[in-house]
């Protein structure tokens, strides 16, 4: 059973949902007394189904645009093939329309995976009336899920744009808890400077939520499309073995985009105006460590220069304008 609902809530009154989906869990790998889990994160680029509900982006809003069931099925098969090839235990997805698409992906994969590798657990959420939301698939049980939105009561005439909520999902990884925070922050489209204040708010919100988890003894992993490249975050100096970023709000976290030498990886996750951007990310805090991080380029979703092959409805080619990123997380 997958939970899928659209929410309109305040951060201070974040909704708590029981999210116990299907029995069974994947095997864990022991490492020095800890548990290891692999995580993939991917912005799927406007992944709509073929049912027209009226809230879709214009190019997916009717059959007159060329969007149809057969094209959806092709995109579904391609998405499933990417997830299977990368093969992570937890899959975080942005820019998808409905919870039913998580179910479709899981069903698409179930016939090709062994029993223990099936994604039996999932959660999806989006703001009420929004075109797209975020979801998570997991081989490990989901103990709970919360959805955190920002609602600002401002001065007369002040406009708050639509902001996607942060999903907080607590996983049980072989008896150890980890809080996964799924993000898709405000885009820079239109007036980048004007939208910056909203990404600042989302950054502070994330710092607060991650800090709360760590204070309660649960390690925190944030992932998603932050629409803010890694060099736009405050960098913290260090020896490369500990926190290297300070989020607004004062929380020190670790980002794997920085190598031990303090330099950013050569290949990013998003190619824009002839240069790499590093807007898809993992941030860790508390008793976890990240290893084996990389943007995933060894597949049909990337070209020979490692750039993402974005989806084009006509002639129906490509995958997404973002590369998936993946890592291994050791829960200590």
Nearest residue to 106 (alpha-carbon basis) of 184, 21, 178, 191: 21
pLDDT at 9: 24
Contact 328/322 with Cβ under 8 angstroms?
no
The CA distance from 149 to 131, in Å, is 16
pLDDT at 1: 38
Q: What are the structural domain ranges in the chain?
A: 3-331
Which two structure tokens, joined as six digits, stand for 27? 């095997």
Contact 74/316 with Cβ under 8 angstroms?
yes
Cis peptide before 315 (omega within 30 of 0): yes
pLDDT at 62: 60
* pLDDT averages per 10-residue partition of the chain, 332 residues: 35 28 33 79 89 67 74 94 97 93 92 83 89 93 96 62 91 98 91 85 98 99 98 88 94 96 95 98 98 97 97 90 98 95
Which two structure tokens, joined as six digits, stand for 11? 């951060």
Give Cα separations from 269 to 164, 169, 195, 263, 296 (angstroms).
20, 24, 21, 16, 8
The CA distance from 282 to 329, in Å, is 10
Fold (CATH) for 3-331: Deoxyribonuclease I; Chain A (3.60.10)
Contact 299/85 with Cβ under 8 angstroms?
yes
Contact 117/24 with Cβ under 8 angstroms?
no
């Amino acid at each position: 059973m997958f939970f899928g609902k659209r929410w309109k809530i305040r951060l201070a009154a974040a909704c708590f949902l029981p999210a116990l989906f299907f029995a069974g869990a994947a095997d864990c790998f022991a490492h020095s007394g800890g548990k290891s889990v692999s995580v993939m994160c991917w912005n799927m680029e406007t992944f709509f189904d073929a049912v027209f509900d009226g809230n879709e982006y214009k190019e997916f809003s009717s059959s007159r645009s060329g969007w149809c069931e057969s094209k959806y099925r092709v995109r579904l098969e391609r998405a499933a093939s990417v997830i299977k090839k990368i093969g992570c235990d937890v899959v975080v997805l942005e820019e998808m329309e409905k919870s039913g698409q998580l179910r479709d992906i899981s069903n698409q994969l179930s016939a090709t995976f062994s029993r223990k590798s099936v994604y039996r657990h999932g959660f999806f959420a989006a703001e009420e009336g929004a075109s797209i939301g975020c979801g998570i698939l997991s081989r490990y049980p989901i103990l709970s899920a919360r959805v955190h939105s920002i609602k600002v009561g401002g001065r007369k005439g002040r406009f708050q744009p639509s902001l996607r909520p942060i999903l907080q999902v607590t996983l049980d990884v072989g008896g150890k808890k980890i809080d996964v925070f799924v993000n898709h922050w405000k885009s820079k489209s239109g007036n980048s400077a004007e939208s910056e204040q909203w990404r600042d708010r989302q950054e502070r919100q994330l710092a607060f939520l991650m800090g709360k988890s760590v204070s309660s003894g649960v390690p925190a992993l944030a992932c998603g499309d932050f629409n803010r490249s890694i060099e736009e975050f405050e960098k913290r100096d260090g020896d490369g073995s500990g926190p290297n970023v300070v989020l607004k709000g004062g929380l020190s976290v670790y980002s794997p985009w920085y190598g031990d030498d303090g330099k950013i990886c050569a290949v990013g996750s998003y190619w824009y105006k002839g240069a790499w951007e590093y807007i898809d990310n993992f941030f860790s805090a508390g008793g976890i460590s990240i290893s084996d991080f990389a943007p995933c380029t060894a597949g049909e979703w990337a070209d020979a220069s490692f750039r993402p092959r974005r989806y084009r409805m006509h002639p129906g080619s490509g995958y997404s304008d973002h590369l998936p990123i993946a890592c291994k997380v050791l829960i200590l």
